[in-house]
Structure 1
Amino acid sequence: MTARAFKLNDIPDLSGKVAIVTGASSGIGLETAYLLARRNCTVYIAARNPEKADRAIADIQRRLFPATQGVGEIIYHHLDLLDLKGVYESAHRFLRDHDRLDILVANAGTAFESIDQLSVDGYDRSFATNHLGHFAFITTLLPLLERTSGINGGDVRVVVTSSMAYQFAGNNGIDFDSIRVKSEGKSILDMKAAGRRYGRSKMANILFTQELSKRLEARGISGIRVNTCHPGSVGDTGLGANDALGIPQWFNGMVHKAVGTVSFTPLEGAMTQIYLSTSKTVVEKDIRGKFYVPVMTWSMRYHYSTEYDISRALKRGDHEKLWNYSETALREALQR
């Protein structure tokens, strides 16, 4: 398949637009926030740790300096995806204080979390962070996204960062019965099970994106385009950089350095979600409910992104089942 390259200079002017990027205090999310601010967008870094977010904001501002005109403001917004009630309240704070939201990039993610530790609400931490938290955040912000689509010419984007690792979940779809199961102990031998849990959360990202897109279309809301993407194999992101499986930090660091020599940089990894967030082609071709991947070339590794067909990999019926499961999880959390 041939396609024209989407390069940094192809990112359109985003003056007047407002974006939220979750998990933007490091890695791909930080680069996404930088690229949006570089094109005049007001960007909210939604993250749990204010100190890390402040360092990220300082880093972006340093890279944008000495330009004082034509760059967007970068602001911290507190968001802890492991606490569904807190996520709901975080979204409502944004709803209360803002009159528009043009771009929402659900980028935050975690992998290889311990099986002996669950989220605040009692769910597998990978599933809670990667899917449930984002489900609560995005669906709560939908009224603002809908209002914005009515004032900006019907061009609102929601991009959910998934992964080709969705395949780790296996061919039988999501095992809903094990999402709240807690097991004792941790061992490097649990890596395969941890991979399945991560893959389950990444499959959930895809299913949620497709279901949300379908529900918006059924309601006649055409101005919000929801898509998901695999950023590519990216080094130096911090993903999975914990000792949850008994893997020492020094070994994790060595692995990330090794991967970084043959993988995309975080900036390159951000390009597919930047394409889906900003490219005029998304509107021209009416791209919605799709899963996009970066295509590597010898001349420039992030030359272009293309749709990837995952229809045969997704179990029939899981879309609505996942939506209902997620709604129930949020409802129960709000009753705490």
Structure 2
Amino acid sequence: MGAYLSMIGQSFPGKPKFKTEDIPDLSGKVIIVTGANTGIGKETAKALLLRNAKVYIAARSQEKSEQAIKDLEKETGKTAVFLKLDLADLPSIKAAAEEFKSKETQLHVLFNNAGVMIPPVEQLTAQGYDLQFGTNVLGHFYFTKLLIPTLVETAKTTPEGKVRVITTSSSGHLFHGLDFATFKDSPKRKKLGTTRLYAQSKFGNIVFANELGRRYGDSIVSVSLNPGNIQSDLQRYTKGIQRTLILSILYPTPYGAVTQLWAGTSKEGLELNGKYAIPWARVGPARKDTADPQLGKELWEWLEEQVKDI
């Protein structure tokens, strides 16, 4: 019951106090937004471009990304850069990080924004992980890990000595913790079902973000967040009454960018390491067990093990 009440409390947050117009000038800042070819990520990229950031759209589909770049250019007068990234394929992630580092020596903000929600339970990543956990958690962990040296070096050049990694979770994290036996395909994973697998991945996002903040908090501000109930491509797998109910409580897509832009660009955001942000642009409660240091250590070590030979 507590999880449902918490979710309801975050579902109707009122009017945002932070607006995209409040974002400071970002001239000279290099920023990556994963999944920025559509939805919340695209709105995030738009706001960043309007404030003069150099924005990389990291996504799987070159065709969709190029169209998004054209759309954003018309709306902002600025041109984003495409970075091919398939978070469901570990070698693709490595190639993306290497491509980025061949072009840039600095990275001021990484928005781990991309995600997949409740796909058919049969779908797996290229390496056989549950598609949702493999994409949302393992994929973003590996991409972040490969970029940590660049992030740490960039922090040394900033006035505040900090850079930021902003990881998008969901109020869905309230409904399931971590079961390591379901991260890869198994009968137990299939029995868990796609909705609980989604919740697990969003729980994992917070645990990962908290552990990143513990390990690198001297130079990296790591924040996880609930972007709100937002209209986006995430709902593409919903059907029937479930779709009707979900769509009835959704806010327009631009609202979804507000909280992560606040965490990723505002002065207040520099004080949010290890925090969980909720709509709109405020700190709120996540499930208490997401903050367990032992669980964070165990998840980090498991993630490290998966990518050590890539």
Which interval holds the TM-score relative to the shorter structure? 0.7 to 0.9
Name the residue aligned to 1:272.
259
Larger helix percent: 2
Distance 1:159 1:329 in 2: 22
Please tell me whether the aligned partners of residues 94 and 143 of structure 2 are also in contact (alpha carbons under 8 angstroms).
yes
Name the residue aligned to 2:129.
123
Alignment partner of 1:158 is 2:170:
no
Compared with structure 1, are the counterparts of its residues 262 and 114 closer, same or farther at alpha carbon in structure 2 (3 Å cutoff)?
closer
Name the residue aligned to 2:180.
176
Please report the RMSD computed on the Cα atoms of aligned residues, expressed in angstroms.
2.5
Distance 1:259 1:86 in 2: 33
TM-score (norm 2): 0.88
Name the residue aligned to 1:26.
38
Percent of aligned pairs sharing the same letter: 35
SS state at 1:61 partner: helix
Name the residue aligned to 1:241.
236
Alignment partner of 1:281 is 2:277:
no
Name the residue aligned to 1:141.
147
Please tell me whether the aligned partners of residues 113 and 240 of structure 1 are also in contact (alpha carbons under 8 angstroms).
no
Name the residue aligned to 1:227.
223
Mark the runs of 5 or more structure 1 residues left unpaired by the alignment.
66-71, 295-301
Please tell me whether the aligned partners of residues 20 and 261 of structure 2 are also in contact (alpha carbons under 8 angstroms).
no
The offset of 1:33, in angstroms, is: 0.5
For 1:88, give the aligned amino acid. Answer: K
TM-score (norm 1): 0.81
Name the residue aligned to 1:69.
none
Per-residue CA deviations over 1:21-66 (Å, capped at 9, x if unaligned) read 000111100000000001000100000000010111111112124x
For 1:238, give the aligned amino acid. Answer: D
Alignment partner of 1:112 is 2:134:
no
Distance 1:14 1:324 in 2: 35
Distance 2:289 2:95 in 1: 37
Distance 2:136 2:208 in 1: 11
Which contiguous aligned blocks of 4+ residues in structure 1 show a shift greater than 4 angstroms?
258-261, 312-316
SS state at 1:321 partner: helix
For 2:44, give the aligned amino acid. Answer: T
Name the residue aligned to 1:305.
282
The offset of 1:182, in angstroms, is: 4.2
Mark the runs of 5 or more structure 2 residues left unpaired by the alignment.
1-12
Name the residue aligned to 2:243.
255
Distance 1:315 1:281 in 2: 25
For 1:63, give the aligned amino acid. Answer: E
Distance 1:177 1:142 in 2: 28
Of 259-268 and 98-107, deviating more is 259-268
Compared with structure 1, are the counterparts of its residues 313 and 87 closer, same or farther at alpha carbon in structure 2 (3 Å cutoff)?
closer
Name the residue aligned to 1:43.
55
SS state at 1:239 partner: helix
The offset of 1:94, in angstroms, is: 1.1
**Which one has a bigger Cα radius of gyration?**
1
The offset of 1:309, in angstroms, is: 4.5
Distance 2:25 2:290 in 1: 37
Distance 2:53 2:79 in 1: 7
The offset of 1:289, in angstroms, is: 0.9
